[in-house]
Amino acid sequence: MTSDTITTDDGTRIYYKDWGQGPVVTFSHGWPLNADAWDGQMHFLARNGFRVIAHDRRGHGRSTQSSSNNHMNGYADDLAALFDALDLNEVTMVGHSTGGGEVARYIGRHGSKRVAKAVLIGAVPPVMLKSAANPQGLPIEVFDGIRAGVAGDRSQFYKDLALTFYGANRAGAKVSQGVLDQFWLWSMQSGQKNAYECIAAFSETDFTEDLKKFDVPTLIMHGEDDQIVPVHDSARKSVLLIEHARAIYYPGAPHGLTTTLQDRVNADLLAFLQS
Count CB neighbours of 272 within 10 A: 18
Helix axes of 98-110 and 192-204: crossing angle, nearest 10 degrees: 70
Active site annotation includes 226: yes
Whole-number percent of the chain with pLDDT over 70: 99
Q: What is the pLDDT of residue 1?
A: 46
Domain enclosing residue 167, as ranges: 5-274
The domain spanning residue 118 has which CATH number?
3.40.50.1820
> What is the arithmetic mean of pLDDT over 108-125?
98
Catalytic residue among 56, 78, 226, 233: 226
| 144 is known as an active-site residue | no
**What residue type is 106 in one-letter code?**
Y
List pLDDT tens digits, range 38-78. Answer: 999 999 999 999 999 999 999 999 999 999 999 999 999 99
* Terminal alpha carbon distance of the chain: 35
Mean confidence (pLDDT) of the chain: 97
pLDDT tens-digit map of 120-163: 999 999 999 999 999 999 999 999 999 999 999 999 999 999 99
**Is the pLDDT assigned to residue 113 strictly greater than 70?**
yes
Catalytic residue (choose from 97, 203, 234, 238): 97
Q: How many domains does the chain have?
A: 1
Q: Look at residue 220 and tell me whether its pLDDT is greater than 90.
A: yes
Please determine, for residue 249, whether its predicted confidence score (pLDDT) is greater than 60: yes
Q: Which residues pair with 115 in a beta bridge?
A: 91
pLDDT above 50: residue 219: yes
pLDDT on residue 161:
98
Q: Give yes or no: 97 in active site.
A: yes
252 — pLDDT class (breaks 50, 70, 90): very high
pLDDT confidence of 2, banded at 50, 70, 90? Answer: low
**Reported pTM:** 0.98
- pLDDT single digits (tens) 22-37: 999 999 999 999 999 9
